[in-house]
Structure 1
Amino acid sequence: MGVHETVASLANEVLNGLAGSCVALIYAPNTIGKTRLAQNLKESDPEGVVLYNSFVEDVFTWDNERVVLKMDPTSELLETIATQGLDGAIAENFESFTSGRIEPRLDFESGEVSFGAHKGDDSSADGIKISRAEESIFVWSVYYSVLSEAIETLRDAPELRSTANYDQLSLAVIDDPVSSMDDVRIVSVALALAELVRRASEVDLKFVIATHHTLFFNVLFNSLRRKGDRAYVLARSQAAGWALARQSRDSPFSYHLGIIGDIQGAISANAIERVHFNQFRALLEKTSNFLGYAGGWGDLLVGPNATLVTKVLNLYSHDRFADIDTSEVAAEYKEAFTSEFQEFMKRFRWAAAE
């Protein structure tokens, strides 16, 4: 394991590790650099990499007045699903991930997706505004359907393939596809992805999967446990750069020691950045899960600045482009953060990191 000053160098280590394996599974809190890593892998081989990240979600935008999801007609993804006739597969996969309650209807001429519940009785309805979680599942269903089609196509001999569009494909890069999903759906997506990875190994298609969600990491780790596959924890030091640590267990909980050390160092140096807020949230999530707090991590913040820090933690963790945007934090947020972190350490009797 080395320390990398640039994302390109980090990407090279990930790719080198894939030489003897099918999958690189990476755990990292938001703002560490997952989005930058994914973008670098795509940009270094545009024809060979099929990418899922927050930018893919921007292909789809809501028209609230007409209650439809608009698709960007210039996107490569939309062209693929139209030319390959994948609308049926997308609808089927979406209904599978959502237990079949809502049916999507794709109209390529208008570039719109509408949603309805069609049960053949009085409870049927059209023009449904789906939730943020269901929107994430729909976007994932589009990517999943394209990738599944690509794998099936690559299993055929080159002269028998229905399209040559996938011939150069060698790597699928997936960055946190489970945003806003509940645990049941996260498990469902992880299990389906693990099966897709197994099928892809037959055509030598490799995967880099990065996530901040410990449950998603856990399910994938156990589902993909094969000789040669690699799991990592990605960490970043503002002074030194990025480092990948091999992970031999299904839950990267030992990472909390590094989180505590990073935050304490940032507080001492008055160098608190967005990354430290997301590290703190990861620490809160792990602690609440371990101690069985039914109300979630927010119940662990009880100091005078709890409300403000909770708001900022939610804001930064849902900023989809946080790891490529500014790292600046307002002085008011830094003071509140310091107060709540120290209160948390004292209340739960964490020992200072060595």
Structure 2
Amino acid sequence: MSEKPKIHRFNDMRKLVARLRDDLNGGNQDFVLLYAYNGTGKTRLSMAFKDAGKKQISRPMNVNDHVNQALTITETVSDTLYFNAFTEDLFSWDNDLEKDSERRLHINTHSKFFKGLKDLALDERIGYYLGRYADFLFDIDYDQWTVSFRKGEDARHIKISRGEENIFIWCLFMAICERVIDGLETYAWVKYLYIDDPITSLDDNNAIAVASDLAKLLRKAKSRTRPEAVVADGPGEVDMAPRMVPAPIKAVVSSHHALFFNVVCNELKKDAHKKYLLQRPERGTAYTLRATDDTPFFHHVSMLAELQKAAHGGTLYTYHFNMLRSILEKTATFFGRDDFSACIHGLDDAELFSRALNLLSHGKYDIYQPSVMVDDNKKLFRQILDAFLGRYEFVLPEVFEPPAKRRAGAPAA
């Protein structure tokens, strides 16, 4: 019997970031792949990783030639180029409310992300990626720093959907990454890529395409080399013919999207990487990492363990109905069924369970502002979960620390 993967616990995000950086450096990994549910703190983690790589440097700045002195200036440099929700916020819409005819996407030129963008000649590479995922075209005005969109010559300055906007920004990021890998001086500071949930509104086909393209780019990044001059045998002499030395760019990828995550994992399975399930027990300040190298699709089973813990000893929130229905849907798909109700068909109260899941998984149950279930719904939730686990004998992992035992005679939460 194989040994259960160890669960690593971190009391704060700073220690978690240190572990990820250790994996990429001392651990000699090319990539760290994190699967985490929404609300775990993936975006905050990506920013903490970026902040951990910041440092202050001083460099001389020559003033006018006739002044025989130099000033020293201090600046902050980073080592991480990231893509997350904040990247998308670097763009804002001008919807031309007065004329309602020329809608444009503004680019925040103060961001280091766009430094040197005008000279990078990215339009062709952006168009290459965009053509793989979408059917609209774009024009970048580098004088006004705006982007306009069109679908043919007869539909110009159109307002694209939020999903299409995200795709365009992602394609721009991919094009910039290509220039980073090429060794462009503007992005010489980049040592790591941190990519958090690049897909938010994609169908399955595009999710696969984006994951595959990203994996291809990451493999190219980890194999990057750069020229380095070498000293010749003679003292003081320099051999001007450079040699190529390794200059890899390593990456962290985090996602809540199961299909995207699994495609990336499969594409990178031959490369040195760590694959983790990231969780934040009880929505507290501590985090756990569990290696999933030997347990593909482990995150779905882990989600069941989380639901069981909440149902029998933890706190049940309204959004747990959404999670339970999602698991039933994936189980039904696995067995070739069309509807989640197939997972509970034939059980006592199957019709009641099906109606409850249909009703209670479609409300405004936000994981960021969770509401505790009322007592009747708690009872119903436990009945559905227990009946489902009774039919399908999942071996549930001990992802969380076991709940404290209730005092004798105390009712369940």
TM class by shorter chain equals 0.7 to 0.9
The equivalent residue for 1:319 is: none
The equivalent residue for 1:23 is: 31
The structure with more helix, counted as a fraction of residues: 1
Matched residues in 2 for 1:333 and 1:58: separation?
Answer: 37
The equivalent residue for 1:260 is: 304
The answer to whether residue 331 in structure 2 is matched with residue 287 in structure 1 is yes
How far the C-alpha of 1:263 sits from its partner, in A, is: 2.3
> Structure 1 residues 227 and 125 mapped into 2: Cα distance closer, same or farther (>3 Å)?
closer
C-alpha contact 2:319 2:361 (8 A) present in aligned 1: no
> Structure 1 residues 33 and 88 mapped into 2: Cα distance closer, same or farther (>3 Å)?
same
Give % identity.
27
The answer to whether residue 15 in structure 2 is matched with residue 6 in structure 1 is no
The answer to whether residue 91 in structure 2 is matched with residue 50 in structure 1 is no
The equivalent residue for 1:85 is: 121
Structure 2 counterpart of 1:136, one-letter code: N
How far the C-alpha of 1:277 sits from its partner, in A, is: 6.6
Q: TM-score, normalised by structure 1?
A: 0.80
Matched residues in 2 for 1:274 and 1:22: separation?
Answer: 39
Q: Which moved more, 1:67-76 or 1:174-183?
A: 67-76
Alignment length, in residue pairs? 327
Matched residues in 1 for 2:93 and 2:374: separation?
Answer: 32
C-alpha contact 1:30 1:278 (8 A) present in aligned 2: no
The answer to whether residue 354 in structure 2 is matched with residue 302 in structure 1 is yes
Matched residues in 2 for 1:342 and 1:83: separation?
Answer: 62
User: Which residues of 2 match residues 68-217 of structure 1 at below 5 A?
Assistant: 68-98=104-134, 101-118=135-152, 124-152=154-182, 154=183, 161=184, 163=185, 165-203=186-224, 204-217=248-261
The equivalent residue for 1:325 is: none
> Structure 1 residues 287 and 70 mapped into 2: Cα distance closer, same or farther (>3 Å)?
farther
Structural RMSD (CA): 3.2
Q: Secondary structure at the match of 1:329?
A: coil
The answer to whether residue 262 in structure 2 is matched with residue 218 in structure 1 is yes
The structure with more strand, counted as a fraction of residues: 2
Bigger relative contact order, structure 1 or 2, given CA contacts below 8 A and separation 6+?
A: 1
How far the C-alpha of 1:216 sits from its partner, in A, is: 1.0
> Structure 1 residues 233 and 128 mapped into 2: Cα distance closer, same or farther (>3 Å)?
same
Which of 1 and 2 has greater Rg?
A: 2
Structure 2 counterpart of 1:177, one-letter code: P
Matched residues in 2 for 1:126 and 1:231: separation?
Answer: 44
Q: Which moved more, 1:267-276 or 1:17-26?
A: 267-276
Q: Secondary structure at the match of 1:92?
A: helix
Q: Which moved more, 1:44-53 or 1:341-350?
A: 341-350
Residue segments in structure 1 that go unaligned for 5+ positions in a row: 155-160, 317-321, 323-327
Matched residues in 2 for 1:174 and 1:197: separation?
Answer: 11
Structure 1 counterpart of 2:223, one-letter code: E
The equivalent residue for 2:291 is: 246
C-alpha contact 1:29 1:278 (8 A) present in aligned 2: no
Q: TM-score, normalised by structure 2?
A: 0.69
> Structure 1 residues 87 and 227 mapped into 2: Cα distance closer, same or farther (>3 Å)?
closer
Matched residues in 2 for 1:146 and 1:335: separation?
Answer: 53
> Structure 1 residues 23 and 198 mapped into 2: Cα distance closer, same or farther (>3 Å)?
same
C-alpha contact 1:169 1:205 (8 A) present in aligned 2: yes
> Structure 1 residues 274 and 347 mapped into 2: Cα distance closer, same or farther (>3 Å)?
closer
> Structure 1 residues 126 and 220 mapped into 2: Cα distance closer, same or farther (>3 Å)?
same
How far the C-alpha of 1:340 sits from its partner, in A, is: 4.4
Q: Which moved more, 1:3-12 or 1:264-273?
A: 264-273
